[in-house]
Each structure stands twice: as C-alpha cells, then as structure tokens.
Amino acid sequence: MEEQNIFELIHNMDNFTNKLIIQWNKSFNEDLGVSHVLVLSHLHQNGKSRPSDIAKKLGFTPPTLSYLSDKMVAKELVVRMVDEADRRIIYLNITDKGAEVLGRAILEGQKLRKNLFQKLSEEDREQLVRIFEKMNRED
C-alpha cells in the first residue's frame, strides 16, 4: 500500500472514531467520558483491582486513573476497598449503580454503531468484519 493511502486510511479511521465518541458523549447523559466507562468495564470483567493494575492494563498514567476514580467514587459507581492483609493496598470495585451505568453505556454504544453500520451494504459489512478479524489476529 502506498504511504499516501496509509495516511488516508489512518485519517479516515481517526475521523470515524472521533465521530463515534462525540456522538456517544452527546447521547450518553451521565457526565462520564469513555475513559470512565473503560475503567467500569475493566472492573466488571475482572472484579476488584488495584488502581495501578487498571492503569497499566488500560494505558493510563496513575494520576489519570486517580482523577477518573475520584469522580466515579463521588458518583458511587465504584468503591475503594482496603486489603485486609495489607492495609497499604487499595482496590477499586464496581458498585451495582456502576454496573447499571456501564450497561446503559454499552447499549448506547451498540445503538450508535448499529446506526452507523446500517449505512453499509451487507457485502460491505461482511468485508469489514473480515478486515477487523484479520487486523485483530495476533501473529
């Protein structure tokens, strides 16, 4: 692929991603960003986790995760828990309210993507699935 085509592809992917995030932020009225939802999703999938482990897994700096978790604790979406054996260790855990908010965020994201992908023909969608599967393969 020519270098110009690669840059055009990257530009179009960035535009698509930005468009999706902007639309999601407008439609999801919880005063939370995508980063908050990523943390909630991590906690939902993995259970209680140390903030440093979450930051490493999601590619956030520890101060960024601290900022995100402060807001989620204030909104009662997550709780901080002290390790019984070593009180220096703090965990974050998702609350029932956090799980509900995560569920709504996921549904809103699915609805937006469905609307966007309906613009494509069935053949285009099948080709896109093949492309994503190929790109997600670990060689």
Residue type, 133: E
Look at 139 and 101; give whichever has higher pLDDT. Answer: 101
pTM (predicted TM-score) = 0.82
Query: Please, are residues 112 and 27 in contact by the beta-carbon 8 Å criterion?
Result: yes
Distance from the Cα of residue 6 to its chain's centroid: 25
- How much is the pLDDT for 87? 92
pLDDT digits (tens, 9 = 90+) for 18-63: 988 899 988 888 899 999 999 999 999 999 999 999 999 999 999 9
Judged against a pLDDT cut of 70, whether residue 1 lies above it is answered with no
Name which CATH class applies to 3-136: mainly alpha
DSSP 76: T
Q: Would you say 33 and 25 are in contact if contact means Cβ atoms under 8 Å apart?
A: yes
Domain limits of the chain? 3-136
pLDDT digits (tens, 9 = 90+) for 85-94: 999 999 999 9
Please state, in angstroms and rounded to a whole number, the distance separating the CA atoms of residues 51 and 91: 7
